[in-house]
Structure 1
Amino acid sequence: MQHLDAISLGVFSYLQAHERVSRVKAKPFVGASQIELRLWEQKNSPYMLPDDVKRFYSTTNGLSVQWFAPFRVGHFSLNSLQNLQRLSIKDLPSRCRSVDQHRLDLRKISHQELIGFCLEASPKYGTVALVYLDEEPQVWFKDLRGSWSFLAETFTNYYRMMLTHLGIISWQTIFSDSGVDPMRKVLYNSFYYDWYARLTCFLWVMNL
């Protein structure tokens, strides 16, 4: 898991060394080949993967790292390239929360079907999708009530958000109107703030 840790701000080694974390379980993935990336883009033309997405999938074709304390607390999860399933999105303008409305050019998209690709989906909290509002896709979250929330301008920013929130299950709901489950708030108090302080110090030293 060293190669993953190197591109993940050291979060996995942090969890492995944490006194209250009983286990870190990683599913091994190899990187997608250039041929696989080209085939995906041919199949899903005219939608192209951004360069940061290609770099990530060239390193690891998907992500599944779970951690326990002792029950499962976090899951860093991204679908494999083959499971980046196409989504037809018809309700984003009407179901977007009000604080994110300014991100939509309703003159262009109010009456058109948008296309997205599923980065992660859970029947317990919702769907994370790479949504093509323009040439460069953004990352959005659809909760179980069907409400859409903006998460990140780029895949890289989304990945950093996942790392920052320790992959705590359903962390994306922080940015939605549905809000955080009360139990998750307890877990954030137990694990998040120490990691965030260390991460902030690390990023300051590295000038990132």
Structure 2
Amino acid sequence: MEERAGRGSIKPYLDKLTLGVTRILEASPGVTEVTFVEKEPAERHTIVSWEQKNGCVLPEDLKNFYLMMDGFHMTWSIKMDDNPMPLGSMTINSISKLTRLSTALAYTLPNAPTLADLEDTDEEGEKGNEDEPEKPHLDSRSLIFELDSCGGNGKVCLVYKNTKPVVAPDSEIWFLDRALYWHFLTKTFTAYYRLLITHLGLPQWQYAFTSYGISPQAKQWFSMYKPITVNTAQLSSEADTFVNKLDPNKVFKSKNKTPVLKKKLASQPPASQKGPTGPGSKNPSQSGSSARR
């Protein structure tokens, strides 16, 4: 896997950070050029400035994520006629690109409608399903920030429904499709991050969480490179497998805690506790059996 590293390397916990999908992709037939772009941590004052500017507090797990690395970008390609073709893309915008969703004019004509005017406002769209939270609004009732542009297939957004300055963050992750319909994804950034990784960044994977599903073309890619979310419950219960359960308290750390993690990883048992090694060394059970003979 190609890695484009920054100054503060995250290699010691790269496997946990990507939930082990780098190994899955590299072992998949036809997959090539698995690339992870390593990014510098965001400065704490940058995050504070963002919160002051936008009048809201970042969720704690998203804040810790930015303190560890300022954004996320992982891609992979497949071989088509011996040439690489980009297919999977996993992206989380940096703090500087976590911008409020524009409600500017949808057209450049005089008195043209805004995105808020074009939003679905019928009774069904307003209430949504009984089990689904109240939908966001593109007007002043909600604060909406873009986490991922999804390659033009829609937008994954961090949504605050309470637009008043709040002490405790109250946010959710929603998907806005190209027809300006909202689809609930997760209540926390950590849960969304897991969805992003385990769906391998396949094209239009977000539409799997809509009532109309993914396109026929996307279904072909899904059938070839099935997202590992199908076995998520089983995989997360197996703590010893390389597909690790994401723990934001251990993985999404601020950069001043990173050296502690590296120190733990570097620790090894003393030489006196290590058993003999080499081609001539024997297992203790073998030595005992030899003595009895």
Which stretches of structure 1, 4 residues or more, deviate above 6 A after TM superposition?
A: none
**1:129-161: CA deviations, max 9, x gaps?**
000124411001111111111011111111111
Call closer, same or farther: CA 1:48–1:122 in 2, change over 3 Å: same
% identical aligned pairs: 29
| Among candidates 100, 110, 113, match of residue 141 of structure 2 | 113
- Matched-pair contact (CA < 8 Å) for 1:93–1:101: no
Structure 1 unmatched ranges of 5 or more: none
- Matched-pair contact (CA < 8 Å) for 1:97–1:177: no
Matched with 1:57 is 66
For 2:72 and 2:150, the matched residues in 1 are separated by 15
**1:139-190: CA deviations, max 9, x gaps?**
0111111111101111111111111211112210111245212121111111
- Matched-pair contact (CA < 8 Å) for 2:195–2:229: no
Matched with 1:137 is 171
For 2:201 and 2:66, the matched residues in 1 are separated by 18
Structure 2 residue 173 is matched with structure 1 residue 159? no
Structure 1 position 111, deviation (Å): 8.5
Matched with 2:134 is 104
Highest relative contact order (Cα 8 Å, sep 6+), 1 or 2? Answer: 2
Task: Point out the structure with max Rg over C-alpha.
Answer: 2
Structure 2 residue 97 is matched with structure 1 residue 83? yes
| Among candidates 23, 42, 64, match of residue 33 of structure 2 | 23
- Structure whose residues are more often strand by fraction: 1
- Matched-pair contact (CA < 8 Å) for 1:97–1:147: no
- Structure whose residues are more often helix by fraction: 1
Structure 2 unmatched ranges of 5 or more: 4-10, 80-84, 104-115, 163-168, 246-293
Matched with 2:270 is none
TM-score (norm 2): 0.62
Structure 1 position 198, deviation (Å): 6.2
TM-score (norm 1): 0.84
Structure 2 residue 188 is matched with structure 1 residue 179? no
